[in-house]
Amino acid sequence: MASRIMSSLNTMGGSEDSGGSATQPTLAVSGRTDGEAYNVTAGARSLTITAQSGATLLTTVEQASTGASVAVTGATTATPSWTAPAGTTVGEACNVLTVATLGGLTSHVGYTERVAGSGGGGGGGWVDIEDVDCTTVTNSGPHTSGVQSFAFTDYPSVSVTASRVSPNTGDIEAVNGTGIVVTGIGNGSMRAGVLLSDILTAYDREYALGGAIAVHIVYETVWGAAAGNGPIIGLNSLVSHNSGRLRGYRGSYDNSDGSEDQQVRSNTSNPTFNTLPTAATSGVVTTILHAGEIVELMWTAGSTPPTPAPGASGTEMVGGGSVAVQASTVGYDPFYSVITATLACTITVKRILIQRYQ
């Protein structure tokens, strides 16, 4: 991107003069330096230009990836404006060039503006990497144990492990039009371990260390009657909700008033961070994985995944395990999302969205 700008600038003859006493017109763009690159947010953009009296101005903007022109309002004035690419074009860049001409001589300021996303710091943005509509799954099951291969639109083979914790007699089932259904019956629990690396095939040590990864599980709950029933949803390196590196969310039903204790789950530890007056029938559990080792948690009502907000108010730190000296893998490898129906209840996974900060 930068080389394209500079090649354009070099053809403008920015340092040339006519060989006489004439000099180039003075030109400055507020907050911008020739040849540099900047991160900006999508939306309205504008400049304030200062040029020598009598100079003619022209500001042009083009998308770096395609060379397509971006419409500039007031392109020949000292205050041009335009709209930076928005929405799905986070990471797009624009080449901006302002030229002042006077007496046949020109001066220029050219630079790159990269459209950045929100959250995570460092000028990057959260990008959708994989998005599984679990309602497109091919019917399979019910299954009470073992590794199953579930097929979704665009994801033909995802390993999902069924695992009972005695004395539960539940199962997991892939139901087209509904999703991945995890049903707990009786005491104990029923678990489904979704192997996320079958979805996020780029996942390895280098990928995990290169940027934070957010896993959004959109789910629905049919609550049972017993106290303490409900979902446990989190990340782990094995299919378990109470051992290994399980870090995530637990919703615990209070059968005295129908409320839901919202808890941070770390293996068997369940500190409560909030109580919902009425137990939620739908929600989004967002686990944010840093460097393949440390997990943060967000919970959102409804079915729309939030923008991940590491370290922000309302984001809970769940922690991580120790990292060995000269470790060749990260802690979350294998990389599972474990969905558990505790006691008698039903948890249905509707969507799995994986984002990365880059």
pLDDT digits (tens, 9 = 90+) for 3-53: 333 333 333 334 344 444 578 899 999 888 888 877 776 667 888 999 999
pLDDT at 356 over 80: yes
Alpha carbon distance, N-terminus to C-terminus of the chain? 17
3-state secondary structure of 69: strand
Beta-sheet pairing, 105-116 with 37-41: parallel
CA distance 146 to 162: 5
Mean pLDDT in residue range 166-193: 97
Q: What is the pLDDT of residue 41?
A: 64
Contact 343, 228 (CB under 8 A): yes
263 or 32, higher pLDDT = 263
In degrees, rounded to 5, the angle at the alpha carbon of residue 298 between the alpha carbons of residues 179 and 272 is 105
Q: In the predicted model, what is the mean pLDDT of the chain? A: 87
pLDDT digits (tens, 9 = 90+) for 264-308: 999 999 999 999 999 999 999 999 999 999 999 999 999 999 999
Structure tokens at 67: 């060379």
Mean pLDDT in residue range 133-142: 97
Of 8-17, 40-49, 193-202, 319-328, minimum mean pLDDT range: 8-17
Q: What is the pLDDT of residue 88?
A: 41
Mean pLDDT in residue range 185-209: 94
CATH number of 126-357: 2.60.120
Mean pLDDT in residue range 183-205: 95
Tell me the CA distances in angstroms from 254 to 1, 227, 266, 279, one per residue in order.
57, 5, 20, 8
Q: What is the pLDDT of residue 85?
A: 66
311 closest CA partner among 294, 332, 330: 294
What's the CATH number of domain 2-116, 3.40.30.10, 3.20.20.70, 2.30.30.90, 2.60.40.10?
A: 2.60.40.10
pLDDT digits (tens, 9 = 90+) for 41-92: 666 788 899 999 999 999 999 887 677 888 999 999 999 998 876 544 455 6
Q: What is the pLDDT of residue 92?
A: 65
pLDDT at 116 over 60: no
Q: What is the pLDDT of residue 255?
A: 95
Q: What is the pLDDT of residue 138?
A: 97
Q: What is the pLDDT of residue 7?
A: 35
Tell me the CA distances in angstroms from 351 to 73, 99, 137, 232, one per residue in order.
42, 50, 11, 16
Mean pLDDT in residue range 311-322: 89
Residue entry with tokens 């019956």: 185
Tell me the CA distances in angstroms from 336 to 67, 87, 154, 208, 352, one per residue in order.
42, 30, 19, 14, 12
- The listed range with the strongest mean pLDDT (15-19, 122-126, 206-210) is 206-210
Domain ranges, ordered by start, for the chain: 2-116, 126-357
**Percent of the chain clearing pLDDT 90 (strictly above):** 68
Mean pLDDT in residue range 214-223: 97
Instruction: Name the pTM for this structure.
Output: 0.68
For the chain, where are the alpha helices, taking DSSP H only? 2-10, 205-209
